[in-house]
Amino acid sequence: MKSQRLHIAIQKSGRLAEKSLDLIRAAGFRLTRSAGDLAYSVENAPIDLWCVRDDDIPTFVADGVADFGIVGRNVLAERADGANDDGLVEVMPLGFGRCRLCIAAPEGFVYDGARGLNGLRVATTYPNLLRRFLKARRLDADIVTMRGAVEVAPRLKLAEAICDLVSTGATLDANGLEAFETILESEAVLVRGAGDLAPELRRAADSVVARFKGVVASQGAKYVMMNAPRAALPEIIEILPGAEAPTVTPLAGRDDAVAVHAVCQESVFWETLEALKATGASAILVLPIEKMM
């Protein structure tokens, strides 16, 4: 009989491991370790976590061993090569593990558009993504597939260019390389398989998705409150970043001024506060949001 618990595959150790656990905890799921360091059990919901290599997460989900996975979009995209469509679906981006898959070459390389890659060797651990990029641009470069440490390939004369993930750019800098093209924007995503869930697991699955959405939406979101001249309202709404219709309430004993409350979906910078102040707003408060649904 199939298990009555929902299974989520996460990275065991590495760049996404801690942040995946943080997300799950922020969604209110209490974790206890089980099976050594291979799994966690959620105490307050019928959910278990499998801790595995990130490269195996798509297989776990595609085979139905896990119902969901948390993995880099780059790993998913590298696996899906069109011919081998395993029906994996990206449910939502999770806002961490951001990076770009870039083409880079030694500084000083004259990159005259992607055509400059014709006839060159490009080293990568992402041969499928690179092949698709080259094909879409009708380019003819040789792909040198490596297992890691791609950034040393030009120095070892193994390739003239590389195609690798970049986040801060420090690795490229340290190796005298420069990025020219981004072929994929990546971050950690929640992935699910193509199959239907057992009815008794659907509630847990809906709750995972809704709570993750809440956590992701509240990250960076702020609750902004202020008093403002009624006449400045249109201008204030323009200035507030990513705010949906703000709440406007009267101020006792003041006909010309109102209180404005708004949820801003984007960062609120000091510049924004200064711009608000310039419209005549006062008592401006910016508060963090803990949960949002």
Out of ligand PRT, Zn ion, none, what residue 176 binds, judged by CB under 5 to 8 A for its kind, is none
- Cα dihedral value 164, 167, 169, 171, nearest 10: -60
Out of Zn ion, ligand PRT, none, what residue 97 binds, judged by CB under 5 to 8 A for its kind, is ligand PRT
Read out DSSP for 173-233? HHTTEEEEEEEEEE-EEEEE-SSPPPHHHHHHHHHHHHHHHHHHHHTT-EEEEEEEEGGGH
Out of ligand PRT, Zn ion, none, what residue 99 binds, judged by CB under 5 to 8 A for its kind, is ligand PRT
Is-contact 92 179, C-beta < 8 A? no
Name the token pair of 61.
């989900």
**The one segment of 51-59, 141-149, 188-196, 243-251 that binds Zn ion by CB under 5 A:** 51-59
Q: Rank residues 55 and 63 by Cβ distance to Zn ion and give the closer one.
A: 55
CB 264, min distance to Zn ion, A: 36
Q: Rank residues 46 and 169 by Cβ distance to ligand PRT and give the closer one.
A: 169
CB 192, min distance to ligand PRT, A: 18
Task: Answer yes or no whether residue 54 interacts with Zn ion by CB under 5 A.
Answer: yes
CB 100, min distance to Zn ion, A: 17
Q: Rank residues 166 and 248 by Cβ distance to ligand PRT and give the closer one.
A: 166
Out of Zn ion, ligand PRT, none, what residue 243 binds, judged by CB under 5 to 8 A for its kind, is none
Out of ligand PRT, Zn ion, none, what residue 261 binds, judged by CB under 5 to 8 A for its kind, is none
Q: Rank residues 53 and 254 by Cβ distance to ligand PRT and give the closer one.
A: 53
- Give the number of other CB atoms < 10 A from CB of residue 60: 22
| Contact string (CB under 5 A) for Zn ion, positions 99-138, x = contact | ----------------------------------------
Which residues does 71 contact at the CB level (< 8 Å), separation at least 6?
Answer: 9, 11, 16, 54, 57, 58, 188, 189, 191
Q: Rank residues 75 and 88 by Cβ distance to ligand PRT and give the closer one.
A: 75
Task: Answer yes or no whether residue 55 interacts with Zn ion by CB under 5 A.
Answer: yes
Is-contact 129 186, C-beta < 8 A? no
d(CA 240, CA 262) in angstroms, rounded, equals 8
Out of Zn ion, ligand PRT, none, what residue 169 binds, judged by CB under 5 to 8 A for its kind, is ligand PRT
Out of Zn ion, ligand PRT, none, what residue 15 binds, judged by CB under 5 to 8 A for its kind, is ligand PRT
Out of ligand PRT, Zn ion, none, what residue 167 binds, judged by CB under 5 to 8 A for its kind, is ligand PRT
Please give the residue ranges that form the binding site for ligand PRT (CB under 6 A). Answer: 11, 14-16, 53-55, 72, 74-75, 97, 99, 164-171, 186
CB 282, min distance to ligand PRT, A: 42
Name the token pair of 36.
């050594």
Compute CA distances 278 → 171, 249, 263, whole Å.
43, 21, 20
The three-class DSSP label of residue 66 is coil
Is-contact 51 39, C-beta < 8 A? yes
The region that residue 240 occupies, defined by phi over 0 for left and psi between -120 and 50 for alpha, beta otherwise, is beta
Q: Smallest Cα–Cα separation from 129: which of 105, 163, 172? A: 163
Which residues in this chain contact Zn ion in the complex, by CB under 5 A? 54-55
